[in-house]
Structure 1
Protein backbone atom coordinates (compact mmCIF):
# COMPACT_ATOMS: atom_id res chain seq x y z
CA UNK A 1 0.00 0.00 0.00
CA UNK A 2 1.48 3.40 -1.01
CA UNK A 3 2.49 5.98 1.58
CA UNK A 4 1.63 9.67 1.18
CA UNK A 5 3.45 12.65 2.64
CA UNK A 6 1.11 14.35 5.06
CA UNK A 7 3.33 16.75 7.00
CA UNK A 8 6.99 17.69 7.41
CA UNK A 9 9.18 20.07 9.40
CA UNK A 10 12.85 20.96 9.41
CA UNK A 11 15.38 20.14 12.10
CA UNK A 12 17.11 23.23 13.44
CA UNK A 13 20.86 22.93 13.96
CA UNK A 14 22.33 25.84 15.91
CA UNK A 15 25.84 27.23 15.98
CA UNK A 16 26.78 29.13 19.14
CA UNK A 17 29.79 31.16 20.11
CA UNK A 18 30.87 33.90 22.51
CA UNK A 19 29.82 37.51 21.83
CA UNK A 20 33.42 38.66 21.46
CA UNK A 21 34.53 36.17 18.85
CA UNK A 22 35.35 36.05 15.15
CA UNK A 23 32.21 34.01 14.47
CA UNK A 24 29.99 36.66 16.05
CA UNK A 25 31.76 39.45 14.12
CA UNK A 26 31.31 37.48 10.91
CA UNK A 27 27.58 37.05 11.58
CA UNK A 28 27.13 40.77 12.32
CA UNK A 29 28.95 41.76 9.13
CA UNK A 30 26.80 39.36 7.10
CA UNK A 31 23.65 40.91 8.62
CA UNK A 32 24.84 44.44 7.77
CA UNK A 33 25.65 43.43 4.21
CA UNK A 34 22.29 41.71 3.90
CA UNK A 35 20.46 44.93 4.89
CA UNK A 36 22.56 47.47 2.99
CA UNK A 37 23.47 45.74 -0.28
CA UNK A 38 19.84 45.42 -1.51
CA UNK A 39 19.38 49.16 -0.95
CA UNK A 40 22.62 50.02 -2.79
CA UNK A 41 21.76 47.79 -5.75
CA UNK A 42 18.18 49.08 -5.99
CA UNK A 43 19.26 52.72 -5.69
CA UNK A 44 22.02 52.48 -8.31
CA UNK A 45 19.70 50.71 -10.75
CA UNK A 46 17.72 54.00 -10.97
CA UNK A 47 14.02 54.39 -10.40
CA UNK A 48 14.20 53.52 -6.70
CA UNK A 49 12.68 56.81 -5.55
CA UNK A 50 9.48 57.92 -7.25
CA UNK A 51 10.52 61.47 -8.12
CA UNK A 52 7.68 62.09 -10.54
CA UNK A 53 4.19 60.74 -11.03
CA UNK A 54 1.09 61.63 -13.00
CA UNK A 55 -2.64 61.14 -12.99
CA UNK A 56 -5.43 61.56 -15.52
CA UNK A 57 -8.44 63.74 -14.96
CA UNK A 58 -10.97 65.62 -17.03
CA UNK A 59 -10.79 69.12 -15.57
CA UNK A 60 -13.81 71.33 -15.10
CA UNK A 61 -13.32 74.10 -17.65
CA UNK A 62 -15.69 77.00 -18.09
CA UNK A 63 -15.48 80.10 -20.18
CA UNK A 64 -14.97 83.41 -18.39
CA UNK A 65 -16.59 85.09 -21.43
CA UNK A 66 -13.51 87.29 -21.78
CA UNK A 67 -11.89 87.16 -25.17
CA UNK A 68 -9.67 89.17 -27.46
CA UNK A 69 -9.66 88.69 -31.22
CA UNK A 70 -7.26 90.55 -33.48
CA UNK A 71 -7.68 90.11 -37.23
CA UNK A 72 -4.88 91.62 -39.30
CA UNK A 73 -5.60 92.76 -42.86
CA UNK A 74 -3.40 93.30 -45.88
CA UNK A 75 -3.21 96.94 -44.77
CA UNK A 76 -1.04 97.07 -41.60
CA UNK A 77 -2.85 100.23 -40.47
CA UNK A 78 -6.26 98.49 -40.41
CA UNK A 79 -6.83 95.72 -37.87
CA UNK A 80 -10.13 94.40 -36.58
CA UNK A 81 -10.24 94.20 -32.79
CA UNK A 82 -12.98 92.32 -30.95
CA UNK A 83 -13.59 91.56 -27.29
CA UNK A 84 -11.64 93.23 -24.50
CA UNK A 85 -11.44 96.57 -26.27
CA UNK A 86 -11.20 98.39 -22.94
CA UNK A 87 -7.57 97.32 -22.61
CA UNK A 88 -6.66 98.72 -26.03
CA UNK A 89 -5.78 102.23 -27.05
CA UNK A 90 -8.22 104.52 -28.79
CA UNK A 91 -6.72 103.96 -32.25
CA UNK A 92 -7.85 100.32 -32.36
CA UNK A 93 -11.28 100.74 -30.76
CA UNK A 94 -12.68 102.35 -33.89
CA UNK A 95 -12.91 98.97 -35.69
CA UNK A 96 -14.84 97.20 -32.92
CA UNK A 97 -18.15 97.66 -34.75
CA UNK A 98 -16.93 95.14 -37.33
CA UNK A 99 -17.52 92.36 -34.78
CA UNK A 100 -21.11 91.14 -34.71
CA UNK A 101 -23.02 88.04 -33.58
CA UNK A 102 -20.55 86.77 -31.00
CA UNK A 103 -21.51 83.48 -29.30
CA UNK A 104 -19.78 81.41 -26.61
CA UNK A 105 -21.47 78.09 -25.87
CA UNK A 106 -20.69 75.33 -23.34
CA UNK A 107 -21.98 71.77 -23.75
CA UNK A 108 -21.98 68.84 -21.31
CA UNK A 109 -22.91 65.74 -23.33
CA UNK A 110 -22.57 63.08 -20.62
CA UNK A 111 -24.28 65.17 -17.92
CA UNK A 112 -21.46 64.73 -15.39
CA UNK A 113 -21.28 68.41 -14.44
CA UNK A 114 -18.17 69.02 -16.57
CA UNK A 115 -18.18 70.72 -19.95
CA UNK A 116 -17.11 68.57 -22.87
CA UNK A 117 -17.01 71.34 -25.47
CA UNK A 118 -16.58 75.10 -25.55
CA UNK A 119 -17.69 76.64 -28.87
CA UNK A 120 -16.84 80.17 -30.02
CA UNK A 121 -18.62 81.74 -32.98
CA UNK A 122 -18.04 85.20 -34.40
CA UNK A 123 -19.19 87.02 -37.52
CA UNK A 124 -16.71 89.61 -38.82
CA UNK A 125 -17.42 92.41 -41.24
CA UNK A 126 -14.26 92.98 -43.26
CA UNK A 127 -13.55 96.58 -44.34
CA UNK A 128 -14.05 97.29 -48.01
CA UNK A 129 -11.23 96.30 -50.34
CA UNK A 130 -9.42 94.58 -47.45
CA UNK A 131 -8.74 90.90 -46.79
CA UNK A 132 -7.87 89.05 -43.60
CA UNK A 133 -4.30 87.71 -43.54
CA UNK A 134 -3.92 86.59 -39.93
CA UNK A 135 -6.07 86.15 -36.82
CA UNK A 136 -5.28 85.44 -33.17
CA UNK A 137 -7.99 84.58 -30.66
CA UNK A 138 -7.34 84.70 -26.90
CA UNK A 139 -10.20 83.08 -25.02
CA UNK A 140 -10.38 83.26 -21.21
CA UNK A 141 -11.20 80.03 -19.37
CA UNK A 142 -11.51 78.96 -15.76
CA UNK A 143 -9.91 75.58 -14.96
CA UNK A 144 -10.57 73.45 -11.88
CA UNK A 145 -8.89 70.15 -10.87
CA UNK A 146 -10.31 68.49 -7.76
CA UNK A 147 -8.81 64.98 -7.27
CA UNK A 148 -5.13 64.25 -6.58
CA UNK A 149 -3.74 67.79 -6.70
CA UNK A 150 -6.52 70.40 -6.39
CA UNK A 151 -5.87 73.37 -8.66
CA UNK A 152 -7.92 76.37 -9.72
CA UNK A 153 -6.63 78.93 -12.16
CA UNK A 154 -7.77 81.35 -14.80
CA UNK A 155 -6.11 80.44 -18.05
CA UNK A 156 -6.22 81.06 -21.79
CA UNK A 157 -7.05 79.15 -24.94
CA UNK A 158 -5.00 80.68 -27.75
CA UNK A 159 -5.74 80.02 -31.43
CA UNK A 160 -3.86 81.67 -34.27
CA UNK A 161 -4.17 81.16 -37.99
CA UNK A 162 -2.45 82.62 -41.05
CA UNK A 163 -4.21 82.76 -44.42
CA UNK A 164 -2.48 82.49 -47.79
CA UNK A 165 -5.60 83.33 -49.82
CA UNK A 166 -8.69 85.45 -49.18
CA UNK A 167 -10.77 83.74 -46.45
CA UNK A 168 -14.44 84.18 -45.67
CA UNK A 169 -14.69 81.48 -43.01
CA UNK A 170 -12.72 79.29 -40.65
CA UNK A 171 -13.75 76.07 -38.92
CA UNK A 172 -11.30 75.02 -36.23
CA UNK A 173 -11.40 71.99 -33.93
CA UNK A 174 -8.89 71.74 -31.11
CA UNK A 175 -8.20 69.95 -27.84
CA UNK A 176 -7.42 71.81 -24.60
CA UNK A 177 -4.31 70.44 -22.88
CA UNK A 178 -2.09 71.43 -19.95
CA UNK A 179 1.57 72.36 -20.44
CA UNK A 180 3.82 72.19 -17.36
CA UNK A 181 7.40 73.36 -16.91
CA UNK A 182 7.45 72.07 -13.32
CA UNK A 183 5.63 69.37 -11.41
CA UNK A 184 2.35 70.34 -9.84
CA UNK A 185 2.65 70.66 -6.04
CA UNK A 186 0.08 68.77 -4.01
CA UNK A 187 -1.28 70.47 -0.92
CA UNK A 188 -3.41 68.29 1.32
CA UNK A 189 -6.95 69.63 1.76
CA UNK A 190 -5.97 72.84 -0.02
CA UNK A 191 -6.70 74.15 -3.52
CA UNK A 192 -3.72 75.78 -5.26
CA UNK A 193 -4.87 79.23 -6.40
CA UNK A 194 -1.48 80.66 -7.36
CA UNK A 195 -2.63 81.52 -10.88
CA UNK A 196 -6.28 82.21 -10.13
CA UNK A 197 -6.22 85.77 -11.45
CA UNK A 198 -7.31 87.38 -14.69
CA UNK A 199 -4.70 87.77 -17.42
CA UNK A 200 -6.68 90.36 -19.37
CA UNK A 201 -4.79 93.36 -18.06
CA UNK A 202 -2.99 95.97 -20.12
CA UNK A 203 0.42 97.24 -19.03
CA UNK A 204 1.08 100.83 -19.99
CA UNK A 205 4.75 100.07 -20.70
CA UNK A 206 3.84 97.86 -23.67
CA UNK A 207 2.83 99.18 -27.07
CA UNK A 208 1.43 95.80 -28.12
CA UNK A 209 -1.42 94.48 -26.00
CA UNK A 210 -1.16 90.90 -27.27
CA UNK A 211 2.54 90.77 -26.43
CA UNK A 212 1.76 92.06 -22.94
CA UNK A 213 -0.87 89.40 -22.30
CA UNK A 214 1.14 86.54 -23.81
CA UNK A 215 4.37 87.48 -22.03
CA UNK A 216 2.64 87.46 -18.66
CA UNK A 217 0.81 84.24 -19.48
CA UNK A 218 3.81 82.31 -20.82
CA UNK A 219 5.86 83.20 -17.75
CA UNK A 220 3.68 80.83 -15.72
CA UNK A 221 4.82 77.33 -14.78
CA UNK A 222 1.41 75.84 -15.67
CA UNK A 223 -0.60 76.96 -18.70
CA UNK A 224 -3.24 75.55 -21.02
CA UNK A 225 -2.59 75.05 -24.71
CA UNK A 226 -4.79 74.19 -27.67
CA UNK A 227 -3.73 71.22 -29.79
CA UNK A 228 -5.22 71.48 -33.29
CA UNK A 229 -7.25 68.49 -34.46
CA UNK A 230 -8.70 69.78 -37.71
CA UNK A 231 -9.14 73.13 -39.43
CA UNK A 232 -10.63 74.17 -42.74
CA UNK A 233 -10.63 77.53 -44.51
CA UNK A 234 -13.49 78.80 -46.64
CA UNK A 235 -12.08 81.05 -49.34
CA UNK A 236 -13.71 83.90 -51.21
CA UNK A 237 -14.22 87.67 -51.18
CA UNK A 238 -17.59 88.23 -49.51
CA UNK A 239 -16.80 91.18 -47.22
CA UNK A 240 -17.44 89.01 -44.16
CA UNK A 241 -15.76 86.20 -42.27
CA UNK A 242 -17.35 83.56 -40.00
CA UNK A 243 -15.26 81.99 -37.25
CA UNK A 244 -16.39 78.68 -35.78
CA UNK A 245 -14.01 77.47 -33.05
CA UNK A 246 -14.79 74.20 -31.23
CA UNK A 247 -12.56 73.23 -28.29
CA UNK A 248 -12.86 69.72 -26.84
CA UNK A 249 -12.21 69.03 -23.15
CA UNK A 250 -10.95 65.49 -22.50
CA UNK A 251 -8.83 63.72 -19.90
CA UNK A 252 -5.51 65.44 -19.29
CA UNK A 253 -2.25 63.95 -18.04
CA UNK A 254 -0.99 65.98 -15.08
CA UNK A 255 2.47 65.55 -13.52
CA UNK A 256 2.90 66.11 -9.80
CA UNK A 257 5.37 65.58 -6.95
CA UNK A 258 4.54 62.40 -4.99
CA UNK A 259 4.45 62.44 -1.20
CA UNK A 260 6.97 60.67 1.02
CA UNK A 261 4.54 57.84 1.79
CA UNK A 262 3.93 57.31 -1.93
CA UNK A 263 7.68 57.17 -2.57
CA UNK A 264 8.12 54.58 0.20
CA UNK A 265 5.25 52.52 -1.21
CA UNK A 266 7.08 52.49 -4.55
CA UNK A 267 10.55 51.75 -3.13
CA UNK A 268 9.61 49.14 -0.52
CA UNK A 269 8.75 46.24 -2.92
CA UNK A 270 12.04 46.77 -4.80
CA UNK A 271 14.00 46.60 -1.57
CA UNK A 272 12.16 43.52 -0.25
CA UNK A 273 12.60 41.55 -3.47
CA UNK A 274 16.36 42.12 -3.43
CA UNK A 275 16.53 41.54 0.32
CA UNK A 276 15.11 38.04 -0.09
CA UNK A 277 17.67 37.17 -2.78
CA UNK A 278 20.60 38.40 -0.68
CA UNK A 279 19.19 36.66 2.40
CA UNK A 280 19.24 33.27 0.62
CA UNK A 281 22.73 33.95 -0.76
CA UNK A 282 24.27 34.96 2.60
CA UNK A 283 22.55 32.06 4.37
CA UNK A 284 24.37 29.66 2.05
CA UNK A 285 27.64 31.41 2.86
CA UNK A 286 27.05 31.12 6.62
CA UNK A 287 26.05 27.46 6.29
CA UNK A 288 29.23 26.71 4.36
CA UNK A 289 31.48 28.62 6.80
CA UNK A 290 30.07 27.01 9.97
CA UNK A 291 29.58 23.50 8.57
CA UNK A 292 33.21 23.42 7.34
CA UNK A 293 34.45 24.73 10.72
CA UNK A 294 36.13 27.75 9.13
CA UNK A 295 35.19 29.74 12.26
CA UNK A 296 35.05 28.44 15.80
CA UNK A 297 31.47 27.72 16.96
CA UNK A 298 29.65 24.99 18.91
CA UNK A 299 27.25 22.90 16.90
CA UNK A 300 23.98 22.23 18.74
CA UNK A 301 22.08 19.20 17.42
CA UNK A 302 18.59 18.56 18.93
CA UNK A 303 19.02 14.79 19.36
CA UNK A 304 22.56 15.00 20.75
CA UNK A 305 22.77 14.51 24.52
CA UNK A 306 26.12 16.24 24.91
CA UNK A 307 25.52 19.79 23.72
Structure 2
Protein backbone atom coordinates (compact mmCIF):
# COMPACT_ATOMS: atom_id res chain seq x y z
CA UNK A 1 0.00 0.00 0.00
CA UNK A 2 1.50 3.31 -1.06
CA UNK A 3 1.74 6.27 1.34
CA UNK A 4 1.89 9.94 0.48
CA UNK A 5 2.09 13.23 2.38
CA UNK A 6 -1.24 14.90 2.95
CA UNK A 7 0.05 17.72 5.17
CA UNK A 8 3.25 18.94 6.82
CA UNK A 9 4.35 21.65 9.24
CA UNK A 10 7.70 22.61 10.79
CA UNK A 11 8.54 21.34 14.25
CA UNK A 12 9.55 24.04 16.74
CA UNK A 13 12.51 23.11 18.92
CA UNK A 14 13.38 25.44 21.79
CA UNK A 15 16.84 25.77 23.30
CA UNK A 16 16.83 27.04 26.88
CA UNK A 17 19.58 28.24 29.16
CA UNK A 18 20.08 30.53 32.12
CA UNK A 19 21.02 34.19 31.83
CA UNK A 20 24.73 34.04 32.61
CA UNK A 21 25.91 31.47 30.06
CA UNK A 22 27.94 31.42 26.90
CA UNK A 23 24.82 30.61 24.90
CA UNK A 24 23.08 33.78 26.09
CA UNK A 25 26.24 35.79 25.43
CA UNK A 26 26.49 34.45 21.87
CA UNK A 27 22.89 35.44 21.12
CA UNK A 28 23.54 38.95 22.44
CA UNK A 29 26.74 39.24 20.38
CA UNK A 30 24.97 38.16 17.18
CA UNK A 31 22.13 40.60 17.89
CA UNK A 32 24.59 43.47 18.40
CA UNK A 33 26.46 42.55 15.22
CA UNK A 34 23.20 42.51 13.30
CA UNK A 35 22.26 45.96 14.59
CA UNK A 36 25.77 47.31 13.90
CA UNK A 37 26.04 46.12 10.31
CA UNK A 38 22.52 47.14 9.32
CA UNK A 39 22.15 50.46 11.16
CA UNK A 40 25.33 52.07 9.79
CA UNK A 41 24.12 54.38 7.04
CA UNK A 42 20.58 53.03 7.37
CA UNK A 43 19.05 56.50 7.44
CA UNK A 44 20.22 58.81 4.68
CA UNK A 45 21.42 62.11 6.20
CA UNK A 46 22.70 63.86 3.06
CA UNK A 47 21.85 63.59 -0.60
CA UNK A 48 23.26 65.04 -3.81
CA UNK A 49 22.04 65.96 -7.26
CA UNK A 50 23.50 67.68 -10.32
CA UNK A 51 22.13 70.95 -11.65
CA UNK A 52 23.12 73.40 -14.36
CA UNK A 53 22.83 76.75 -12.60
CA UNK A 54 21.25 79.54 -14.65
CA UNK A 55 23.66 82.49 -14.40
CA UNK A 56 22.92 85.96 -15.76
CA UNK A 57 25.55 88.69 -15.81
CA UNK A 58 24.33 91.78 -13.92
CA UNK A 59 26.61 94.41 -15.52
CA UNK A 60 27.68 95.56 -12.05
CA UNK A 61 31.42 95.82 -11.53
CA UNK A 62 34.23 97.66 -9.78
CA UNK A 63 37.64 97.85 -11.46
CA UNK A 64 40.73 99.15 -9.63
CA UNK A 65 44.10 99.30 -11.40
CA UNK A 66 47.51 99.97 -9.88
CA UNK A 67 49.47 102.27 -12.21
CA UNK A 68 52.78 102.11 -10.35
CA UNK A 69 54.48 100.25 -7.50
CA UNK A 70 54.07 103.22 -5.12
CA UNK A 71 50.33 102.71 -4.77
CA UNK A 72 48.92 105.10 -7.37
CA UNK A 73 45.74 103.82 -8.91
CA UNK A 74 42.93 104.51 -11.32
CA UNK A 75 39.45 103.08 -10.87
CA UNK A 76 35.96 102.88 -12.29
CA UNK A 77 32.67 101.23 -11.44
CA UNK A 78 29.07 101.06 -12.61
CA UNK A 79 28.00 102.80 -9.35
CA UNK A 80 27.86 106.63 -9.63
CA UNK A 81 28.27 107.07 -5.87
CA UNK A 82 31.55 105.17 -6.08
CA UNK A 83 32.85 107.27 -8.98
CA UNK A 84 32.11 110.75 -7.58
CA UNK A 85 34.71 110.80 -4.74
CA UNK A 86 37.50 109.51 -7.04
CA UNK A 87 37.11 111.93 -9.95
CA UNK A 88 40.87 112.58 -10.09
CA UNK A 89 41.54 108.84 -10.38
CA UNK A 90 38.55 107.98 -12.54
CA UNK A 91 39.25 106.26 -15.86
CA UNK A 92 36.28 105.11 -17.92
CA UNK A 93 36.94 101.91 -19.92
CA UNK A 94 35.02 100.26 -22.73
CA UNK A 95 33.33 97.00 -21.71
CA UNK A 96 32.14 94.13 -23.87
CA UNK A 97 30.15 91.19 -22.47
CA UNK A 98 29.11 88.02 -24.28
CA UNK A 99 27.38 84.98 -22.82
CA UNK A 100 27.45 81.82 -24.94
CA UNK A 101 25.41 78.63 -24.95
CA UNK A 102 27.56 75.86 -26.44
CA UNK A 103 25.07 72.99 -26.33
CA UNK A 104 22.02 75.09 -27.28
CA UNK A 105 19.99 74.07 -24.21
CA UNK A 106 18.90 77.61 -23.38
CA UNK A 107 21.37 77.97 -20.47
CA UNK A 108 24.60 79.96 -20.79
CA UNK A 109 27.76 77.85 -20.48
CA UNK A 110 30.36 80.62 -20.13
CA UNK A 111 30.89 84.38 -20.10
CA UNK A 112 33.44 86.32 -22.15
CA UNK A 113 34.29 89.71 -20.63
CA UNK A 114 36.46 92.27 -22.45
CA UNK A 115 37.57 95.49 -20.72
CA UNK A 116 39.72 98.06 -22.52
CA UNK A 117 41.27 100.68 -20.19
CA UNK A 118 42.68 103.87 -21.78
CA UNK A 119 46.04 104.95 -20.36
CA UNK A 120 48.24 108.01 -20.70
CA UNK A 121 51.64 107.50 -22.36
CA UNK A 122 53.45 107.77 -19.01
CA UNK A 123 51.10 105.38 -17.18
CA UNK A 124 51.90 101.70 -16.67
CA UNK A 125 49.77 98.85 -15.33
CA UNK A 126 51.14 96.74 -12.48
CA UNK A 127 48.01 95.12 -11.13
CA UNK A 128 44.25 94.74 -11.35
CA UNK A 129 41.31 94.12 -9.02
CA UNK A 130 38.02 93.21 -10.65
CA UNK A 131 34.74 92.71 -8.82
CA UNK A 132 31.65 91.72 -10.76
CA UNK A 133 28.30 90.19 -9.88
CA UNK A 134 25.82 87.84 -11.52
CA UNK A 135 22.36 86.50 -10.77
CA UNK A 136 22.27 82.75 -10.07
CA UNK A 137 19.00 80.84 -10.34
CA UNK A 138 18.73 77.34 -8.89
CA UNK A 139 15.78 75.07 -8.28
CA UNK A 140 15.59 76.19 -4.63
CA UNK A 141 17.11 79.68 -4.54
CA UNK A 142 17.67 82.85 -6.56
CA UNK A 143 20.44 85.14 -5.37
CA UNK A 144 23.16 87.53 -6.48
CA UNK A 145 26.65 86.03 -6.59
CA UNK A 146 30.15 87.50 -6.63
CA UNK A 147 33.18 86.89 -8.84
CA UNK A 148 36.43 88.49 -7.69
CA UNK A 149 39.73 88.60 -9.60
CA UNK A 150 43.01 90.05 -8.34
CA UNK A 151 46.41 89.92 -10.00
CA UNK A 152 49.62 91.93 -9.73
CA UNK A 153 53.07 91.86 -11.33
CA UNK A 154 56.39 93.65 -10.72
CA UNK A 155 56.65 94.11 -14.49
CA UNK A 156 54.21 96.50 -16.24
CA UNK A 157 51.84 94.75 -18.60
CA UNK A 158 49.65 95.36 -21.60
CA UNK A 159 47.07 92.65 -21.14
CA UNK A 160 45.65 90.27 -18.54
CA UNK A 161 43.85 87.11 -19.62
CA UNK A 162 42.00 85.04 -17.04
CA UNK A 163 40.11 81.77 -17.44
CA UNK A 164 38.30 80.05 -14.57
CA UNK A 165 35.18 78.18 -13.41
CA UNK A 166 32.48 79.86 -11.35
CA UNK A 167 31.89 77.27 -8.63
CA UNK A 168 29.29 77.06 -5.90
CA UNK A 169 30.86 77.11 -2.45
CA UNK A 170 28.26 76.31 -0.07
CA UNK A 171 19.46 81.90 0.73
CA UNK A 172 19.07 85.55 0.38
CA UNK A 173 18.12 87.41 -2.80
CA UNK A 174 19.63 90.74 -1.80
CA UNK A 175 22.04 92.96 -3.67
CA UNK A 176 25.74 92.61 -2.92
CA UNK A 177 26.24 96.37 -3.24
CA UNK A 178 23.66 99.04 -2.48
CA UNK A 179 24.17 101.37 -5.42
CA UNK A 180 22.18 104.14 -3.70
CA UNK A 181 24.46 104.21 -0.65
CA UNK A 182 26.62 107.30 -0.09
CA UNK A 183 28.95 105.61 2.41
CA UNK A 184 32.45 104.73 1.21
CA UNK A 185 32.42 101.49 3.23
CA UNK A 186 29.66 100.17 0.97
CA UNK A 187 32.09 100.05 -1.95
CA UNK A 188 35.13 98.89 0.03
CA UNK A 189 36.26 95.60 -1.51
CA UNK A 190 37.44 93.97 1.77
CA UNK A 191 34.10 94.87 3.38
CA UNK A 192 32.15 93.50 0.38
CA UNK A 193 34.04 90.20 0.45
CA UNK A 194 33.76 89.90 4.26
CA UNK A 195 29.97 90.31 4.17
CA UNK A 196 29.73 88.01 1.17
CA UNK A 197 31.61 85.19 2.91
CA UNK A 198 29.12 85.30 5.78
CA UNK A 199 26.42 83.97 3.49
CA UNK A 200 25.31 80.35 3.57
CA UNK A 201 25.70 80.13 -0.21
CA UNK A 202 28.59 81.70 -2.12
CA UNK A 203 30.51 81.32 -5.36
CA UNK A 204 34.19 81.55 -6.17
CA UNK A 205 36.42 81.34 -9.21
CA UNK A 206 38.13 77.96 -9.38
CA UNK A 207 41.02 76.74 -11.54
CA UNK A 208 41.95 80.34 -12.39
CA UNK A 209 44.70 80.64 -15.01
CA UNK A 210 46.06 84.23 -15.31
CA UNK A 211 48.26 85.23 -18.26
CA UNK A 212 50.07 88.58 -17.86
CA UNK A 213 51.36 90.07 -21.13
CA UNK A 214 54.15 92.67 -21.06
CA UNK A 215 55.23 95.23 -23.66
CA UNK A 216 52.45 97.80 -24.04
CA UNK A 217 52.77 100.20 -26.97
CA UNK A 218 52.45 103.94 -26.36
CA UNK A 219 48.83 105.18 -26.22
CA UNK A 220 47.59 101.59 -26.36
CA UNK A 221 44.88 100.68 -23.83
CA UNK A 222 45.33 97.99 -21.23
CA UNK A 223 43.21 94.95 -22.08
CA UNK A 224 41.45 92.64 -19.64
CA UNK A 225 40.07 89.44 -21.13
CA UNK A 226 38.20 87.01 -18.90
CA UNK A 227 36.40 83.76 -19.68
CA UNK A 228 34.26 82.51 -16.82
CA UNK A 229 32.84 79.01 -17.29
CA UNK A 230 29.55 77.88 -15.75
CA UNK A 231 30.04 74.15 -15.03
CA UNK A 232 27.38 71.69 -13.89
CA UNK A 233 27.28 71.75 -10.08
CA UNK A 234 26.89 68.81 -7.69
CA UNK A 235 24.56 70.08 -4.96
CA UNK A 236 24.79 68.46 -1.51
CA UNK A 237 21.95 69.08 0.91
CA UNK A 238 20.86 67.69 4.32
CA UNK A 239 18.02 65.25 4.00
CA UNK A 240 15.62 67.16 6.26
CA UNK A 241 15.46 69.74 3.47
CA UNK A 242 14.31 67.08 1.02
CA UNK A 243 11.22 64.93 0.89
CA UNK A 244 10.22 62.59 3.72
CA UNK A 245 9.42 59.95 1.12
CA UNK A 246 13.04 60.10 -0.06
CA UNK A 247 14.20 59.17 3.43
CA UNK A 248 11.78 56.26 3.73
CA UNK A 249 12.65 55.02 0.25
CA UNK A 250 16.36 54.86 1.02
CA UNK A 251 15.72 53.24 4.43
CA UNK A 252 13.49 50.58 2.85
CA UNK A 253 16.16 49.77 0.25
CA UNK A 254 18.70 49.40 3.04
CA UNK A 255 16.30 47.21 5.01
CA UNK A 256 15.55 44.79 2.18
CA UNK A 257 19.05 44.57 0.75
CA UNK A 258 21.07 44.43 3.97
CA UNK A 259 19.00 43.67 7.06
CA UNK A 260 17.24 40.58 5.70
CA UNK A 261 20.52 39.13 4.45
CA UNK A 262 22.19 39.48 7.84
CA UNK A 263 19.13 38.04 9.56
CA UNK A 264 19.28 34.98 7.29
CA UNK A 265 23.03 34.51 7.89
CA UNK A 266 22.83 34.92 11.66
CA UNK A 267 19.80 32.60 11.86
CA UNK A 268 21.73 29.80 10.14
CA UNK A 269 24.71 30.39 12.43
CA UNK A 270 22.49 30.09 15.49
CA UNK A 271 20.79 26.97 14.13
CA UNK A 272 24.16 25.27 13.58
CA UNK A 273 25.48 26.26 17.02
CA UNK A 274 22.46 25.11 19.02
CA UNK A 275 21.46 22.11 16.90
CA UNK A 276 24.95 20.65 17.24
CA UNK A 277 25.21 21.69 20.89
CA UNK A 278 28.35 23.73 20.30
CA UNK A 279 27.09 25.73 23.26
CA UNK A 280 25.35 23.66 25.92
CA UNK A 281 21.61 24.28 26.23
CA UNK A 282 18.50 22.38 27.31
CA UNK A 283 16.41 21.19 24.37
CA UNK A 284 12.62 21.36 24.57
CA UNK A 285 11.14 19.00 21.98
CA UNK A 286 7.81 19.63 20.27
CA UNK A 287 4.67 17.73 21.26
CA UNK A 288 4.85 14.03 20.60
CA UNK A 289 2.88 12.71 17.70
CA UNK A 290 0.11 10.16 18.53
CA UNK A 291 0.06 7.08 16.34
CA UNK A 292 -3.30 5.59 15.44
TM range (shorter): 0.7 to 0.9
TM score, norm. by length of structure 1: 0.74
Aligned partner of residue 105 in structure 2, secondary structure: coil
The answer as to whether partners of 2:63 and 2:75 remain within 8 angstroms in 1 is yes
The answer as to whether partners of 1:67 and 1:84 remain within 8 angstroms in 2 is yes
> Match of 1:221?
200
How far, CA to CA, are the matches of 1:38 and 1:227 in structure 2? 45
> Match of 1:15?
12
The answer as to whether partners of 1:15 and 1:300 remain within 8 angstroms in 2 is no
Cα deviations by residue, 1:24-67 (Å, 9 ceiling, x for unpaired): 99999998876654122444xx5454333332222111111111
The Cα of 1:246 is off from its aligned counterpart by 0.7
The Cα of 1:111 is off from its aligned counterpart by 1.5
Matching residue within 77, 80, 92 for 1:83:
77
TM score, norm. by length of structure 2: 0.77
The Cα of 1:93 is off from its aligned counterpart by 3.8
* Deviation larger for 239-248 or 86-95: 86-95
Give unmatched runs, 5+ long, in structure 1. 1-10, 181-193
Cα deviations by residue, 1:180-224 (Å, 9 ceiling, x for unpaired): 2xxxxxxxxxxxxx2211101368373971112111111122211
- Whether 1:284 aligns to 2:263 is no
**Alignment RMSD (CA, Å):** 3.7
How far, CA to CA, are the matches of 2:116 and 2:280 in structure 1? 95
The answer as to whether partners of 1:87 and 1:209 remain within 8 angstroms in 2 is no
Distance 1:140 1:33, change over 3 A: same
The answer as to whether partners of 2:13 and 2:286 remain within 8 angstroms in 1 is yes
How far, CA to CA, are the matches of 1:105 and 1:93 in structure 2? 29
How far, CA to CA, are the matches of 1:31 and 1:294 in structure 2? 12
In the alignment of these two chains, the number of paired residues is: 273
The answer as to whether partners of 1:64 and 1:141 remain within 8 angstroms in 2 is yes
The Cα of 1:296 is off from its aligned counterpart by 4.2
> Match of 1:252?
233
The Cα of 1:247 is off from its aligned counterpart by 0.6
Matching residue within 195, 198, 211 for 2:172:
195
